[in-house]
């Protein structure tokens, strides 16, 4: 049960009467939704520079002076959590409980309280992930996502239209062809009316019959030719815009911060680039031309109808407001259903990508049936969402079709009466009836255009959501100094969840040419330290200095070009061995590639391949062994020639003989570079300039391998533990 019993903790050094205005400023005010007895209810947390307060309604139930606190934290509980503080005396005080819906806000609150306790500048992220639309309060399909009911379709269409800018001439020609096509399509009813009134009814002038028939033929042929030309031009334009959209969203994805990928799954992002851009393309290629051409046609038909008979024109137009009302009234709900289908497609793509990427693991554990069950579940959810959306659409379309069918009934009723009374000629009535077919046929399908439009604009909004996401600061002007490799962590604090820092006051330096080994248990902060060096993330507090300069003031691309990295599981692209070695230096000569491969102890096995350096490595390097992939990765780093080198468990997954070869390659690689290494086998760090031992994000020991073994502290304990494990493995073998 979630519970936070009300209590008041007072201090003799502080009281409400002695707080000045600055200390009383409310820095944090949050609504909690769990009562002390564990039921849902309303409580209010307030934090000032002097104290923490909790209100139950208007009653102050808890007051804790900041000066009495040692730390603050969030304790995860079932379906929620609890903000807790620890007093200087060591006593734990549960402050307030909350559900998962507001957990992110209380996570930041704990971080803010920690800053106040430590006397640091107060700075927390007040912006939390949105789960509901701020306008209509509906639950969002994705956190911080877009609300399908509140999409500004006009703005989205205008933004998509802005991609026509490079193709203005073609767009102008398309508009001209649409107008001409509309005029030609209006000719046949006029010709038919003339045939009835001037040829068939009076039964004379057979020559006029053939003239009108010829004119009708040329009108039909001209309309077909113009339609083909317009369709081809439209398809070309739509393809260009879709290509530009895909290129734009892909480029945006490549430059996004890693935090974006922490929140979004790969399948969802893939869906943006493929499916959502295809929806925009489909609307531009089919829906928009249909809408524009038929809108012009409707305007022309109404003009000619009023020329035939304004009374009949008004009569046949009577169902139009009903059709428009039905389309507008059901628009939002239909869009919501299409958005749900889009969301289900994103989940479907995510599962499919995950299952295919991890196919070796699936087969290794014989989990094909389990994965098939998961696929069936996602597939069924996609099917159900699609059926609901399409059924709703067909119901609306049926209602609109009935309304448009009434137009024909009205035309025959009113028009027939006018012919009977002599107010209209038979030819004029026929013209009106033909015009009616031109206007109500397209109107039945305007709802289909609404279908296309809703899907396309929902897709466009998702595309623009990615394109508008905060990118890495590549465009930030920064310095491009010559880097020697002097790296200094200066009281660095960082956490992926900022209220639970992974690194705490990290302070050490590495001079040019140093080999720094990062050691510690799993979760100690080794990989996070590497992530900060690569600037995948930036410190929450403190600074990372390079040659005395905060690396956030450097040009990001310049900084990363001075970093080389060799991972435990090296990633190779599906290309040739030569292409993968030259990935960090695409303009490298073949001689440079071979020299790097020799230095990485890779040249011999490469020559043993059927195509040598032109051998295809396969997806993720699947055609090579683990040791071969690792040596190509080392060759890639050698050719890149970085000032700062990162080795992340580079020999953890290879056999002893391969490890020996890799160690020889790495000796050449680390020469003259500042190197940071994480090693699974601690013995491989024996020659490190200095070892940094981390525990829970803090440095607990630092020194050479021999010095730390003499201390008989945490590092020595890790070495003994690993030796015992190796002995056990040796016995079992």
pLDDT band at 545 (very low <50, low <70, confident <90, very high): very high
Q: Indicate the fold that domain 16-118 takes in CATH.
A: PH-domain like (2.30.29)
Region 590-601 average pLDDT: 86
Can you name the residues that pair with 74 across neighbouring β-strands?
83
Average pLDDT over residues 96-111: 81
Highest mean pLDDT of the ranges 339-343, 457-461, 653-657, 690-694: 690-694
CA distance 459 to 16: 55
* pTM (2 d.p.): 0.62
178 Cβ contact partners less than 8 Å away, ≥ 6 residues apart: 230, 289, 292, 293, 296
What pairing do the DSSP bridges indicate for beta strands 92-99 and 80-87? antiparallel
Domain ranges of the chain: 16-118, 148-468
Query: To which H or E segment does residue 110 belong?
Result: helix 103-118
Q: If we measure between CA atoms, which residue out of 157, 335, 160 comes closest to residue 242? A: 160
For 455-511, how does the pLDDT look when each residue is reduced to its tens digit (9 = 90+)?
Answer: 777 777 778 877 777 777 766 677 888 888 899 999 888 887 665 678 888 899 999
Q: How far apart are CA 87 and CA 52, in angstroms?
A: 12
Using the predicted structure, report yes or no on whether residue 13 has a pLDDT greater than 90: no
Highest mean pLDDT among 190-204, 252-266, 617-631: 617-631
632-642 average pLDDT score: 84
SS3 content of the chain, % helix, strand, coil (to 5): 60, 15, 25
Residue with tokens 């699947």: 622
Task: Please report which confidence band the pLDDT of residue 41 belongs to, taking 50, 70 and 90 as the band edges.
Answer: confident
- Check residue 133 and report its DSSP letter: -
Nearest partner of 644 among 495, 494, 532, 568, judged by Cα: 532
Other residues' Cβ atoms within 10 Å of the Cβ of residue 247: 12
Spatial CA neighbour of 595 closest among 613, 609, 608: 613
At residue 120 the predicted structure's pLDDT band, cuts being 50, 70 and 90, is confident
Greater confidence (483 vs 287) lies with: 483
Neighbours of 379 (CB within 10 A): 15
How far is the C-alpha of 285 from the C-alpha of 619, rounded, in Å? 35
The Cα–Cα gap between 268 and 245 comes to: 16
What pLDDT is stored for residue 544 in this prediction? 92
Compute the distance between CA of residue 275 and CA of residue 576 in angstroms, rounded to an integer.
30
For 358-425, where are the alpha helices, taking DSSP H only? 359-364, 368-410, 416-421
Q: Do domains 16-118 and 148-468 have the same CATH topology?
A: no
- Radius of gyration of the chain measured on its C-alpha atoms: 36
Q: Specify the pLDDT at position 23.
A: 67
Rounded mean pLDDT of the chain? 79
Binning pLDDT at 50, 70 and 90, where does residue 733 land?
Answer: very low
Strands of the 26-34 sheet, one edge to the other: 26-34, 40-48, 51-56, 59-65
- What pLDDT, on the 0 to 100 scale, is given for residue 419? 80
Each as own residue / partner, the long-range contacts of residues 84-89 (CB below 8 Å, 24 or more positions apart, any chain) are 85/52, 85/113, 87/9
Q: Higher model confidence: residue 445 or residue 291?
A: 291
Q: Reading across the β-sheet that carries 92-99, which strands appear in turn? A: 69-77, 80-87, 92-99
Residue with tokens 């209590």: 7
Fold designation for 148-468: ABC transporter transmembrane region fold (1.20.1560)
Q: Specify the pLDDT at position 475.
A: 64
Give the highest mean pLDDT range of 72-81, 331-340, 694-703: 694-703
Alpha carbons 637 and 584: distance in angstroms, whole number:
8
CB 460 within 8 A of CB 326: no
pLDDT exceeding 70 applies to what percent of the chain? 83
pLDDT: which is higher, 415 or 59:
59
Residue of 665, 723, 662, 715 whose CA lies nearest to 690: 715
Q: Could you give the residue ranges of the DSSP H alpha helices within 561-701?
A: 577-581, 590-599, 603-607, 626-640, 656-670
Q: Which residues pair with 690 in a beta bridge?
A: 516
What's the rounded Cα separation, in Å, for the pair 522 and 694?
10
519, 705 contact by CB (below 8 A): no
Phi, psi of 505 (to 5 degrees): 50, 45
pLDDT value, residue 210? 84
Residues 6+ apart with CB under 8 A from 70: 86, 87, 88, 90, 117
The pLDDT-based confidence of 555 (bands split at 50, 70, 90) is confident
Q: Which of 2, 52, 4 is nearest to 24 (CA)?
A: 52
Average pLDDT, integer, range 144-166: 73
pLDDT at 211: 86
What pLDDT shows up at residue 265? 66
What DSSP designation does 687 have?
Answer: T
Nearest to 603 by CA among 634, 566, 569: 634
Residue 565 exposure: Cα atoms within 13 Å on the Cβ side: 18
The answer, yes or no, to whether residue 351 has pLDDT greater than 90, is no
Angle at 104 between CA 100 and CA 110, to 5 degrees: 115
Cβ neighbours for 110, distance < 8 A, ≥ 6 positions apart:
72, 73, 74, 83, 499
Mean pLDDT for the stretch of residues 408-422: 81
DSSP 8-state code for residue 141: S
Structure tokens belonging to residue 86: 């620890």
Which residues fall within 8 angstroms of residue 551, CB to CB, at 6 or more apart? 535, 544, 545, 559
641: pLDDT strictly greater than 70: yes
Q: Are 614 and 577 in contact (CB under 8 A)?
A: yes
Helix (H), strand (E) at residue 506: strand 503-510
pLDDT of residue 505: 84
* Dihedral angle over CA of 26, 31, 34, 40, nearest 10: 150
Residue 179, Cα to own-chain centre: how many angstroms? 41
| Cα–Cα distance for residue pair 41/34, rounded to 1 Å | 5
């Amino acid at each position: 049960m979630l519970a936070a019993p009300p209590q008041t903790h007072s201090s003799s050094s502080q009281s409400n009467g002695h707080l000045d205005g600055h200390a009383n400023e409310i820095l944090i005010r949050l609504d909690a939704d769990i009562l002390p007895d564990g039921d849902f209810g309303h409580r209010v947390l307030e934090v000032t520079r002097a104290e923490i307060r909790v209100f139950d309604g208007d009653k102050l139930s808890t007051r804790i002076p900041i000066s009495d606190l040692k730390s603050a934290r969030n304790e995860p509980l079932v379906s929620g959590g609890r903000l807790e503080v620890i007093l200087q005396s060591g006593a734990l005080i549960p402050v307030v409980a909350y559900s998962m819906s507001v957990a992110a806000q209380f996570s930041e609150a704990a971080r803010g309280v920690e800053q106040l306790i430590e006397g640091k500048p107060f700075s927390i992220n007040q912006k939390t992930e949105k789960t509901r639309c701020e306008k209509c309060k509906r639950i969002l399909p994705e956190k911080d996502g877009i609300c399908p009911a509140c999409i500004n379709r006009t703005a989205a269409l205008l933004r998509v239209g802005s991609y026509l800018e490079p193709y203005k001439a073609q767009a102008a020609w398309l508009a001209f062809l649409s107008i001409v096509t509309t005029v030609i399509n209006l000719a046949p009813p006029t010709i038919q009316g003339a045939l009835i009134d001037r040829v068939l009814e009076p039964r004379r002038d057979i020559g006029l019959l053939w003239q009108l028939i010829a004119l009708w033929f040329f009108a039909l042929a001209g309309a077909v030719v113009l339609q083909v030309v317009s369709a081809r031009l439209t398809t070309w334009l739509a393809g260009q815009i879709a290509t530009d959209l895909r290129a734009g969203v892909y480029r945006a994805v490549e430059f996004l911060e890693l935090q974006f990928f922490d929140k979004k799954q790969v399948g969802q992002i893939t869906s943006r680039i493929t499916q959502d851009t295809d929806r925009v393309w489909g609307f531009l290629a089919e829906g928009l031309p249909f809408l524009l051409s038929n809108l012009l046609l409707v305007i022309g038909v109404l003009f000619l109808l009023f020329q035939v008979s304004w009374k009949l024109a008004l009569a046949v137009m009577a169902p139009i407001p009903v059709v428009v009302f039905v389309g507008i009234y059901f628009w939002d709900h239909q869009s919501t259903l299409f958005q749900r289908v889009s969301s289900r497609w994103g989940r479907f793509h995510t599962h499919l990508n995950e299952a295919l990427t991890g196919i070796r693991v699936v087969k290794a554990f014989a989990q094909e049936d389990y994965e098939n069950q998961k696929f069936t579940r996602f597939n069924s959810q996609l099917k159900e969402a699609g059926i609901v959306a399409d059924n709703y659409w067909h119901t609306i379309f049926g209602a609109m079709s009935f309304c448009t069918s009434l137009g024909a009934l009205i035309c025959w009723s009113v028009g027939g009466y006018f012919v009977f009374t002599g107010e209209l000629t038979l030819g004029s009535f026929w013209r009106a009836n033909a015009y009616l077919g031109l206007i109500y046929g397209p109107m039945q399908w305007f709802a289909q255009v609404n279908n296309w439009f809703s899907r396309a604009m929902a897709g466009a909004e998702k595309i623009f959501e990615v394109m508008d996401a905060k990118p890495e600061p590549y465009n930030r002007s920064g310095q491009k100094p010559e880097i020697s490799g002097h790296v200094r962590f200066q009281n660095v604090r960082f956490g992926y969840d900022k209220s639970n820092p992974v690194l705490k006051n990290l302070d050490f330096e590495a001079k040019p040419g140093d080999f720094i080994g990062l050691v510690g248990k799993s979760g100690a902060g080794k990989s996070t330290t590497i992530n900060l060096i690569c600037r995948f993330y930036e410190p929450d507090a403190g600074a990372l200095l390079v040659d005395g300069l905060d690396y956030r003031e450097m040009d990001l691309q310049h900084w990363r070009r001075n970093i080389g990295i060799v991972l435990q599981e090296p990633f190779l692209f599906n290309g040739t061995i030569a292409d993968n070695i030259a990935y960090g230096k695409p303009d490298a000569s073949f001689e440079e590639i071979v020299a790097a491969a020799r230095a990485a102890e890779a040249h011999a096995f490469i020559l043993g391949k059927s195509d040598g350096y032109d051998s295809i490595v396969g997806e993720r390097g699947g055609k090579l062994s683990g040791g071969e992939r690792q040596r190509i990765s080392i060759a890639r780093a050698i050719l890149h020639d970085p000032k700062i080198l990162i080795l992340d468990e580079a020999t953890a997954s290879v056999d002893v003989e391969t490890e020996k070869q890799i160690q020889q390659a790495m000796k050449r690689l680390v020469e003259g570079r500042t190197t940071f290494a994480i090693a699974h086998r601690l013995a491989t760090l024996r020659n490190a300039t200095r070892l940094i031992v981390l525990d829970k994000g803090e440095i607990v020991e630092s020194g050479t391998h021999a010095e730390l073994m003499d201390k008989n502290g945490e590092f020595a304990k890790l070495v003994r533990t690993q030796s015992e494990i190796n002995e056990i493995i040796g016995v079992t073998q």
